[in-house]
Every structure is written in C-alpha cells, then in structure tokens.
Structure 1
Amino acid sequence: MLTVVMVLMSRLGNFFIHRASHENGKVTFEIGVDTHAPMLVNAFTESLDDVAHLTINYSAANIVLQSTDRSELTVREYMLVDESSYYAHVKHEDDTLAITAGERPARDNLNIRIELEIPTTYHGRLEISSVSGPIEIDNLHKLRSLAITSTSGAISLDDVETSSLSIDSITGTIKGRSLTADDYTINAMSGNVHLMNTRGNYSVRCSAGSLRLDDAHGHGRFEVTSGTAKLCFAEVDGNLSAESSAGSVRLQVPRELDYGFNLETSIGSLKTPDNAHYSNNERNYQTGAIGNPSDLMISMMTVVGSLALETR
C-alpha cells in the first residue's frame, strides 16, 4: 500500500499543484482547481455626502450593487487569496468617487466578488465598467443616471429607477425587471435582451441575439440585426418602431389603442389585426390605421422575416 510521506501544496489563486512522494520513491503531481467560495478579505465605508458621480471599475469580478438605509457607502471584497495589493483603490476628486480594482496577477483567477451597498439618499450618477464577470443591481431608486459597460458577462437589473439608463454589452445576456427610466439606451453586440415590467422611452439595439419585452410601458425604437424580437406593450404613449435585418418581429399593443401602422418586408409574411383599415394592402407592404384617427404611429420593417402586429 502506498503511503504519503510528504505533501507540498503550492497555490496560485484557485489553481493548485499537489506533489506527493511515496515510500517506493515515486513522485506524483496533481494539478486542479479549487472551487471553494471566495472569502471576505476587505471591507470599508465611504461618505457620499458631497459625491455626485460614483464610478466602479473592475477588470474581472462579480459586481453586486444594492441599496442600504445606512448613510455611508459600504464596500466588501471577496477573493480566494488575501493579498492587500489586490484590494480596491479609492479616489475622491471634486464631486467624483472612483473605486477601481487593485493589482491582478496576469495568470491568476481570484474568483473575485465585490459587493456595494449604496445609500438610498444617493441620487447622483452611477457608472459601472467591467471587462469580465456578471453585474447584478437591485433596488436602486432616483438615480440621476446609470451607465453600465461590460465586455463579457451577464447583466441583471431588478427594481431600478433612474432618469437615464445606458447599457453597452459586447458579450452576455441583459435582463431587467421593474425598471423605470426617462430614457433607455441599450446596445448588445452578442447576447439576448429581456426586459420585464419596464417603463420609459426605449432605444434598444441587438446585433446578434433575441430581444424580448414583457409588460412594457412607453414608446421607442428597437433594432435587431440577426435575431427575433417579441415586444409586448401594456401601455403605449408614443410612436413605436421595430426593425430586423434577418429575423421575425412580433409586436403586441393594447386592444383599445388607436394608431396608424406601416409594415414592410422584402422576404416574409405580414400580419395585422382583423379590424385594420388599409390604405395599402400588398403582400410585402401594408399601411393603414386601427380605431379612430390618431397621430400615434407604429412602424415595423424587416429584410428577411415575418412581421406580426397584434392586440393583447
């Protein structure tokens, strides 16, 4: 039977090299990944009394933001390795408070998680930048603006209220629930976008991925380059425009809504409500109105794909 007479553990973040020497003189190595949860290594608080612009910039981490009734910003960092040089840097200049990731070994995966609790009294600008890792935001209200930039990672927002919401994502899904914003600007290069129970003026663009809205309120413009769009509005208070280069588009609006419509496709079918009045009713091009005369206009267009305008 083999017995271990020496064990050497060398840790590199969450990677390990396990060396064992046996009584027969044989040496074996085991290389693997330690998947245990990161530990709390750093925590601090900052006053936001004179701060109008809060920025968080992390290269690789799970970033979590939520509200707190306490008067100060609370930050907690979780990592697999407790190394002070890895801790976040804090810079306060004029009315801007910047929290930036510390040093990182080039080949190390520290499995970092940063949690920020933002006072409910903070109503300024909030800006988040991440290279990789998920971003989770919950229960933040009355922000002047919220801007998120992500290279790779899922973005999730729940119960957020802001005057302006801007999201730029290269790779990763975007999910939002119970959102209110005067203006949305969402650009997703690769990944699905799903918004539920949201309100405002939308400008949403998906280059590669599906777009879905459930129980939406407001108006705006939606573009999908390659993928489908399903937009379900509980309330419409302005013009709607939905376009796709290659993919079907389905738009549902309240039954009692009065509006004009314009549908056009190069290759595909068109569908409009049964009570539509047409000024043009061709195979690939339809214009007309629903209900009483109205200045509200719904426009739908696709190059390759079907269009469906429906009532809820």
Structure 2
Amino acid sequence: MTSIEMEIRTRLDIIFSKYTPNAQLTEFKEELIADLMEAYQDFAKQDKSHDEALDDAFDQLGDIDVVLRDLSQTNRTDEATHNDEPKKAPFIDISDDGFHIGNLHIDGQGVRLGDDIVIDGKHDKVQFGDWLHVDHDGARVGKKYYKFDDDTNINQSHFDDTVDDVKVPSWAAAHHNAQIPISDKQFVFDYHDAIVNFYTNDKTDLITVDEYFNRDNARYFAHIEENDDRVLISQGDHPLLFHVRTRINIGFPKNFDTGHITSINHSGRVIAQNLTLDTFNLIIHSGGFEGQQIKAKNASWEVHSGTIKADKLTFDKAEIFDKSGNVKLKNATIPHAKISATSGSVQVDHFIGGGQFSANSGFLRLRIDELTDDLKLHAHSSSLRVTAPETQHFNFDLSSNSGIVTVERHNNIHYDKNTPSYKRGFYGTNPKFTIDANANSGTIKVY
C-alpha cells in the first residue's frame, strides 16, 4: 500500500466513522479509494503540490453524507422487512441525463414505462397538464428539456450546442434575422426559453440577431422596441402545448467597446465568446452561462439556478453571484471583484486582482497569479483554500470558528498570532496587500 493510498484511507475512515458499518458501505468505500487515487494522480500532473492535489481530489466528492446515511441503514431496513412481502421504494432521479420516477423513464431514447417505449422520435406527442410535454423532438419536464436521439447520435441524451457554433443548426425549420444599428443606448436581450449565443460578427456598426426554430411560425420571432434609453429585444410567443427548440445567435461588431449589454434568460443557457464591451450584464433565472475571451469595464452577473463557467475574463469591476450553482472561472483579471455563491462552490484559477469572495455552503478555492489589491474571503460551512506564487508577498489574517488554519510556507514567514484556528502575520519582505479569510465551520489552507 502506497503512502498516498494510506492517506486517502485515513481521511475516508474519518468520514465513514459516523455511520454503522455494513457490506454496502465497505464496497462503496473501496470504490471511492480507487476513484480518489485516480483523481489525485490527475491533479498531481497539473503542477500542484501533494496537499493541493489530495485536497482537490476530496473536493470532487462533494456532500456524500446522504449516500452514506442511506447505505448505513440498509441492513436495518432489510431485517425489518425480511418476513414481509418485498416492497420496492419508489426511485426518483432527476439529472441532465434523464428523469426517472419508479418505472417511468424520460431520457434521450424516449419516454418508457418499464421496458416498453411509450413515445420516441417516431411518434406523436403527449401532454400531462403543464408539467410534462412530449412530442417527436423531445420531452419537457417542468423547465428541463431532453431531446430524443437520432440514429447518428444515440449516445447523446440531451442536446449541447458547441460554444463556437454560429452556423445554421441542422434541426432548424425557420430562421428570423434582424439587424440593429449600434448606439450608446442599453441593449437588453430578454429570452424566456432558448440557447443564446453572443459572439463577434463581421459588421462595423450593426448588431445581428439570428433566430432559429424547429417549428415554422412567425409568432415565435423576437419583438424589438426602442425608447430614449434602451433597445429591448424580447422573445416572441412561447407555445404552452409543446416545446419549441430555439437557438439565438447575436453578433456584435469588433469595435463595439462602448456597448452596454444586458442579457435576461428565464429557462435556457447563455454562451458568450470573443466580446469587447463597456458593460456586460447577465440575469439568468434557471439555466447556465459559459463564457470565453470576454473584456468589459463592468460586469454584473446574477444566476438564480445554474452554473457559471468562464475562461479568459478581463474586467475592471465585476460582481458575480450564483444563488444555486457553482462558479468556475479561469484566467480572470479583475482588479475589483465581488464573487459569491449561496448554495454551491466558488473556484477561480489563475486570478489577477483583488476583492471579495464568499461561499455559503460549498468550498471556496482561489489560485492567485498576482494580487493587485486586498482579498477578503469567507466560507460559511466548508473549506477555504488559497494558492499564491512564492513571489507574491502578502499580509494575512486567517481565522476559523471551528476548524484548522494552515499556512504552507516554511521560510520568510512571520507570525503576530499563531494558534491552530487563528493566524495573523505576513509572508515575504515587502507585503503590500492582505489576505483576510474567515471560515465558520471549515478549514483554511494557504499554499
């Protein structure tokens, strides 16, 4: 047994110690050990220290207490029902891959009851109130949509348009185009249920809006209204009896660095790439955001339910808030940042700047390339970890109400206060900025 496997087993022993052992828990534990070993090797290849790679591997587990609690109760449940008629608890699972309640399955293959296919891409439609709508294209359960597979893409359970695809979708039955002159007004794009892709077009003074639909009806086309302050582009009619697959490509000129853009999305996904604007604001009620190569003076992103993923961001000032989901940023330069997640984690890699970061019920992970201002970090009920280069000198004030604080620096470090749960001092010879971190119930590590 290697020393790494021993460390993994020791950590898992602590996690599993709260639950009554049985065969199911033991089997699950061995599976986790193999997965964690593989994850550790992957992280170790990314030029991370041993402790960083191990911590990152365990972060992939998330909250497994519910699973462990159920597995630990398996024996007692089996004993209680041993002499009774076998009863099968209803199975409920909702994910991006499908929707399952008992014997009812909705995924890329169609709608099935047990092993029987009730409806798939070859049949008509079925509807149960406003909750379940199924036609030959796919199924909508609440606000989630699952496209049925075709013969050439049998392994894909739901459609996923690529970030850089601004061509005509193969499924499009209707196309609507609009061209809007640029101005210094606020441009608001309000789409209820669509994939919206922002990109850079080849125009000099026009914003292009291309809408694609899998059903041909002019009432689905966007409405454009203009007043003295703003231009509003809002989605057209949305049918209640079936789902209309919708893709929106919105192009901005390369020289539109004075543009003020706000995107509102109620149930869909927003994609942005290669943008240079003055203001880029997002309001997403139920969906996600993916961004790449975005520059702006100001950005305000608010997501109520969904994940924020972005790479190569350059903002003077940004406020990014995710109420229920994770924030994952890479190569972000933000001198004045305010980034938080209420129910989810915050992870920022290759960060240049300063500001405030917080995670209420998920881990907070920040890898710094360069500090240009003070950092104030808070994790409510999870771990908080910061990595800074050896060349970055900084003051630190780190405290945890019920956890351990660790600073992984062995040379050139000076402490004013040094207890297991509170450390204050400075690293280097000429610190200019301060890392101020607090965790209510979790560990703090600075690498």
**Does residue 407 of structure 2 align to residue 274 of structure 1?**
no
Q: CA deviation at 1:180?
A: 0.3
Aligned residue in 1 for 2:435: 298
1:232-255 per-position Cα deviation (integer Å, ceiling 9, x unaligned): 011111101111000001101121
Q: CA deviation at 1:149?
A: 0.3
Distance in 1 between the 2:425 and 2:415 partners? 4
**Does residue 394 of structure 2 align to residue 259 of structure 1?**
yes
Which AA in structure 2 matches 1:229?
A: L
What's the Cα RMSD here?
A: 1.9
Assess if the C-alpha contact under 8 Å between 1:40 and 1:77 holds in 2.
Answer: no
Aligned residue in 1 for 2:263: 128
The alignment of Structure 1 onto Structure 2 pairs a total of residues equal to 284
Gaps of 5+ in 1: 1-13, 19-30
If asked which structure has higher relative contact order (CA below 8 Å, sep 6+), I would say 1
| Percent sequence identity over aligned pairs | 24
Of 288, 295, 300, the match for 2:425: 288
**Does residue 16 of structure 2 align to residue 16 of structure 1?**
no
Assess if the C-alpha contact under 8 Å between 1:38 and 1:112 holds in 2.
Answer: no
**Any residues of structure 2 matched to 1:66-85 within 5 Å, and which?**
66-71=199-204, 72-85=206-219
**Does residue 319 of structure 2 align to residue 185 of structure 1?**
yes
Which one has a larger percent strand, Structure 1 or Structure 2? Answer: 1
Q: Secondary structure at the match of 1:85?
A: helix
Which one has a larger percent helix, Structure 1 or Structure 2? Answer: 2
Which AA in structure 2 matches 1:232?
A: R
Aligned residue in 1 for 2:33: none
Distance in 2 between the 1:262 and 1:198 partners? 24
Distance in 2 between the 1:237 and 1:283 partners? 29
Q: Secondary structure at the match of 1:246?
A: coil
Q: CA deviation at 1:86?
A: 1.1
Gaps of 5+ in 2: 1-121, 127-133, 138-147, 151-169
Distance in 2 between the 1:188 and 1:17 partners? 35
- Structure 2 CA distance for partners of 1:178 and 1:15, relative to 1, 3 Å: farther
Q: Secondary structure at the match of 1:226?
A: coil
Q: Secondary structure at the match of 1:199?
A: strand
Of 240, 243, 255, the match for 1:106: 240
Tell me the TM-score normalized by structure 2: 0.61
Q: CA deviation at 1:295?
A: 3.8
Distance in 1 between the 2:200 and 2:225 partners? 21
Tell me the TM-score normalized by structure 1: 0.86
**Any residues of structure 2 matched to 1:204-223 within 5 Å, and which?**
204-223=339-358
Distance in 1 between the 2:123 and 2:330 partners? 39
Q: Secondary structure at the match of 2:360?
A: strand
Q: CA deviation at 1:74?
A: 1.5
Distance in 1 between the 2:214 and 2:366 partners? 42
Comparing 37-46 and 92-101, the one that deviates more:
37-46
Which AA in structure 1 matches 2:329?
A: L
Which AA in structure 2 matches 1:46?
A: Q
Comparing 73-82 and 33-42, the one that deviates more:
33-42
1:30-59 per-position Cα deviation (integer Å, ceiling 9, x unaligned): x75424764152332323243432110011
Distance in 1 between the 2:303 and 2:238 partners? 23
